[in-house]
A and B are shown apart, each in its own frame.
Chain A
Amino acid sequence: MNNFEYASPTSVEQAVALLSSTWGESEILAGGTDLLGRMKDYVSTPKRLINIKKLPGLHAISKENGGLRIGALVTLDRIPESSDIRKNYAALAECVAEAASPQIRNMATIGGNLCQRPRCWYFRNGMGLMPKNSEGKSLVAEGDNRYHAILGNDGPAYFVTPSTIAPMLLALNARVRLIGPGGPREIALENFFRVPHSEDEREHNLQANEILTDILVPAAGSGMRAANYEVRQKAAFDWPLVTAAAVLHMSGNTVQNARVVMGAVAPVPWLSSEAAEAVTGKAIDEETAAAAGRAAVSKARALSENGYKIQIAAVAVKRALLAASGQPVPNVFAQGGAA
C-alpha cells in the first residue's frame, strides 16, 4: 500500500472540498472493505484518503415520502436488523443478510457496497479494468473469462458488477442522492451505473469529488412481492456466479408490473425488460417463470469460457420469480445434514 494523507472531516462540505476532481488522486474511506484491498494490491493508489465515517446524518435508516431513506454510512448488518425493512422489504433484508460475511457486514456500508469496484481478476491483479495484450486484443476475451459478462459485453468492458445488493435495490426502483461541489443531485439507481468505455471512466456516474449520501427506496405497496436468488458455489461468503432480483406488483395472482434485475452478468446490474414483459399480465408458475428466464438471456452472448452463465442466469431469474410469488424453489444446500 502506498502512503497517503488522511483526513476525517466532520461535515459533508468539508469532505467534498477534500476530494480531488480527478479520479485516482483521492479516495473515500467508509467501510474500507473494498478500498483497502485495492490499495494493498496497488490497484488504487490515492494520495489522500477521506474518511467519511464521522459525517453526520448519513448513519440512519428512516422513513421518507412513504418509502425508505438509508444513509450511505449504514453498515450492512443493520439493514436486516431494521424491523421496518424486515416487515416491508423482507427480500432486501434477506439479500443484505446473504452478502459477504458477518465481519464484512459489520464494517461495510451500503453506500460503499454500491460504489465498490469490480472483482474482475484481471483488474484486481493490476492488469487494468479493460486489459489488452500486445496486439491490442482484450486479455479477458482471449483469456479466462469464466466469471465475466454475458450481457452488455460488446467491449471493451467485460467485467461484471460486483454488488449483490444493487440488483435488488434497482428492482425496488431505488434512487440515490449524491453531493458534490455543485451541490446535491438525485438520480435513479439504474442511471447511477453505466458501462465504461475507457480506463479513465468509472462504472458509475459518480464524479470524483462527489459523495453518495443516501439511498431512497419507494414505498412498498401492498401488492408488492419480491425475492432475490443467488447462484454461488459455496453456502456462504462467496461471490455469486449470477444473481437475480425480482419485484412484482400483483393484483391477485396476476402480475401487474415487474422489475427483474440480474447481477454479475454484465458490467452493470442488468434490468431485463424482456423478463418483465414475459410475466406481465400473467400468473407466475414454473412455465411462465422459465419463459421469463429464457427471455432474460435472449440477448446474452457467451465469451469463450462463460457460456454456462447463460443457463444459470435463466435459472436464477426463474427461481427469483417463483420465490417472489411465494412458491418453493430448489435449494441444494438444504439437502443432507450438517457435521
Chain B
Amino acid sequence: MSTKEKEPANLSRRDFLKISGIAASVPLVVSPTATEAQGQQAGIVGPGAVPITLTVNGKSFSADLEPRVTLLDALREHFDITGPKRVCDRGECGACTVLIDDRPVYSCTTLAIEAQERQIITAEHLGGAQPHAVQSAYVNNDAQQCGLCTPGFTVATKAFLDKHAHGADAEIAHGLAGNLCRCGTYRGIHGVIAQMSGREPKGNAGTTTIAERLATSAEGGA
C-alpha cells in the first residue's frame, strides 16, 4: 500500500500564516511584561491564582485558584463539599465522580478552571434537597460498607440508570466499571439496579432458608 503523504494542495505554509494572522508563536519564557502583553492577547492566565467561579449543586462558589487545582480539590479543599472523595486521584476508581451537565465525569481529572460555566452536581445534591431514590436504594440493599466509594458510586449509578432503565448484568458490568470498591459492595449495587428497574433481586436478599435460596439461584443448585 502507498505510504506517500499528501499535503492539501490548496493551502501553503505562507497562506496559513496569513490566515492565522500570527507570524510567530507566543513565547513561553520571556520577560514578564512581554508575556503579559502577548499573554493577554492569547488569553493566557496563571501560573498564579486566578478568580474561578463554579456552579455546584445549584449554588455559586468563587475562589482564587491556580490553574493546576483540580475540580475535586476545589470542591473538597476550597468549598468543603466532601461527598466526592479523593482515592486514586488518577481517573481509575470513580470515588470522585460528579455530574457535569448531567454526565458523570471524574472530578480528579478535570481542572477547576475548565469546569466554569457548567452545572456541577455532587452526591450531596443528587436528589436535590432530599436524598435521591438511588441513594435510598443503596441503604435498602446495604450496598455500602466503609462508604468511601459510595457517594461516587451513587452518582455513577444514577447516570447509568438514566441511560439504561433496565440495566442488564452485562450492561452493569460495563456501565458501572468506572467505580471501584474495596470492601466488596458490588452485590448490593446489583440489588440497587434491580430495585430501581423494578426487577426482583437475585440471590438471597430477604431469604433465610436454603430452599428459598435455591429457588432464586441462577446457577446450579436445584
B is bound to A: yes
Q: Mark A176-215, 1 if CB is under 8 A from B, else 0.
A: 0000011111111011000000000000000001000000
Please give, as numbers and ranges, the residues of chain B lying within 8 Å of A6 by CB-CB distance.
44-47, 50, 67, 111, 113
Contact A338 B169 (CB under 8 A): yes
Contact A32 B218 (CB under 8 A): no
**Most chain-A CB neighbours within 10 Å: which of B105, B170, B177?**
B177
Closest to B152 in A: A103
Shortest B69–chain A CB gap in Å is: 9
A37: Cβ under 8 A from any B Cβ: yes
Q: Known: A17-B26, A209-B25. Contact between A102 and B160, CB under 8 A?
A: yes
A107: Cβ under 8 A from any B Cβ: yes
A19: Cβ under 8 A from any B Cβ: yes
Please give, as numbers and ranges, the residues of chain B lying within 8 Å of A14 by CB-CB distance.
20, 22, 42
Contact B42 A7 (CB under 8 A): yes
Of the candidates A9, A19, A107, the one whose C-beta lies within 8 Å of that of B109 is A107
Of the candidates B15, B50, B172, the one whose C-beta lies within 8 Å of that of A338 is B172
A13: Cβ under 8 A from any B Cβ: yes
Shortest B92–chain A CB gap in Å is: 8
Please give, as numbers and ranges, the residues of chain A lying within 8 Å of B77 by CB-CB distance.
none
Contact B47 A18 (CB under 8 A): no
**Most chain-B CB neighbours within 10 Å: which of A4, A40, A102, A107?**
A102
Q: Mark B147-167, 1 if CB is under 8 A from A, else 0.
A: 000000000100110000000
Q: Please measure, in the bound complex, the distance between the C-alpha atom of A11 and the C-alpha atom of B28, giving whole angstroms.
A: 19
Q: Please measure, in the bound complex, the distance between the C-alpha atom of A17 and the C-alpha atom of B111, giving whole angstroms.
A: 22
B190: Cβ under 8 A from any A Cβ: yes
Please give, as numbers and ranges, the residues of chain B lying within 8 Å of A182 by CB-CB distance.
13, 16
* Segment from B1-9, B53-61, B127-135, B206-214 that makes contact with A: B1-9
A window 1-50: CB within 8 A of B: 1-11, 13-14, 16-21, 25-26, 29, 32-33, 36-37, 39-40, 47-49
Q: Please measure, in the bound complex, the distance between the C-alpha atom of A57 and the C-alpha atom of B39, giving whole angstroms.
A: 24
Q: Mark A104-120, 1 if CB is under 8 A from B, else 0.
A: 10110000000000000
Q: Please measure, in the bound complex, the distance between the C-alpha atom of A234 and the C-alpha atom of B15, giving whole angstroms.
A: 51
Closest to B19 in A: A13
Closest to B219 in A: A337
Q: Known: A5-B67, A18-B25. Contact between A103 and B45, CB under 8 A?
A: no
Q: Mark B177-216, 1 if CB is under 8 A from A, else 0.
A: 1110000001100100000000000110000000000000
A236: Cβ under 8 A from any B Cβ: yes
B173: Cβ under 8 A from any A Cβ: yes
Q: Mark A302-327, 1 if CB is under 8 A from B, else 0.
A: 00000000000000000000000000
Contact B91 A16 (CB under 8 A): no
Q: Please measure, in the bound complex, the distance between the C-alpha atom of A182 and the C-alpha atom of B15, giving whole angstroms.
A: 9
Q: Please measure, in the bound complex, the distance between the C-alpha atom of A238 and the C-alpha atom of B3, giving whole angstroms.
A: 33
Shortest A23–chain B CB gap in Å is: 12
B43: Cβ under 8 A from any A Cβ: yes
Contact A104 B91 (CB under 8 A): yes
Contact B156 A184 (CB under 8 A): no
B114: Cβ under 8 A from any A Cβ: yes
Q: Please measure, in the bound complex, the distance between the C-alpha atom of A103 and the C-alpha atom of B202, giving whole angstroms.
A: 27
Please give, as numbers and ranges, the residues of chain A lying within 8 Å of B173 by CB-CB distance.
235-236, 333, 338
Please give, as numbers and ranges, the residues of chain A lying within 8 Å of B21 by CB-CB distance.
13
Of the candidates A26, A191, A236, A333, the one whose C-beta lies within 8 Å of that of B3 is A191
Of the candidates B39, B109, B203, the one whose C-beta lies within 8 Å of that of A36 is B109
A contact residues, range: 35 or more
Q: Please measure, in the bound complex, the distance between the C-alpha atom of A242 and the C-alpha atom of B187, giving whole angstroms.
A: 29
Contact B177 A13 (CB under 8 A): no
**Most chain-A CB neighbours within 10 Å: which of B39, B50, B106, B169?**
B106
B window 42-92: CB within 8 A of A: 42-47, 50, 66-68, 70, 89-91
**Most chain-B CB neighbours within 10 Å: which of A4, A7, A100, A191?**
A7
Of the candidates A39, A104, A236, the one whose C-beta lies within 8 Å of that of B174 is A236
Please give, as numbers and ranges, the residues of chain A lying within 8 Å of B119 by CB-CB distance.
none
Q: Please measure, in the bound complex, the distance between the C-alpha atom of A34 and the C-alpha atom of B132, giving whole angstroms.
A: 32
Shortest A94–chain B CB gap in Å is: 11
Q: Please measure, in the bound complex, the distance between the C-alpha atom of A98 and the C-alpha atom of B156, giving whole angstroms.
A: 17
Shortest B7–chain A CB gap in Å is: 5
Q: Please measure, in the bound complex, the distance between the C-alpha atom of A101 and the C-alpha atom of B66, giving whole angstroms.
A: 28
Closest to B17 in A: A181
Please give, as numbers and ranges, the residues of chain B lying within 8 Å of A21 by CB-CB distance.
25
Contact A4 B43 (CB under 8 A): no
A53: Cβ under 8 A from any B Cβ: yes
Q: Known: A25-B28, A32-B110, A33-B109. Contact between A336 and B103, CB under 8 A?
A: no
Q: Known: A3-B47, A17-B26, A191-B5. Contact between A237 and B172, CB under 8 A?
A: no
Contact B186 A339 (CB under 8 A): yes
Please give, as numbers and ranges, the residues of chain B lying within 8 Å of A339 by CB-CB distance.
186-187, 190, 202-203
8 further A-B pairs in the complex, CB-CB below 8 A; given A5-B39, A190-B3: A13-B21, A18-B42, A29-B114, A36-B70, A101-B178, A102-B104, A183-B7, A337-B219
Closest 3 CB pairs of A and B: A101-B178, A13-B20, A337-B218
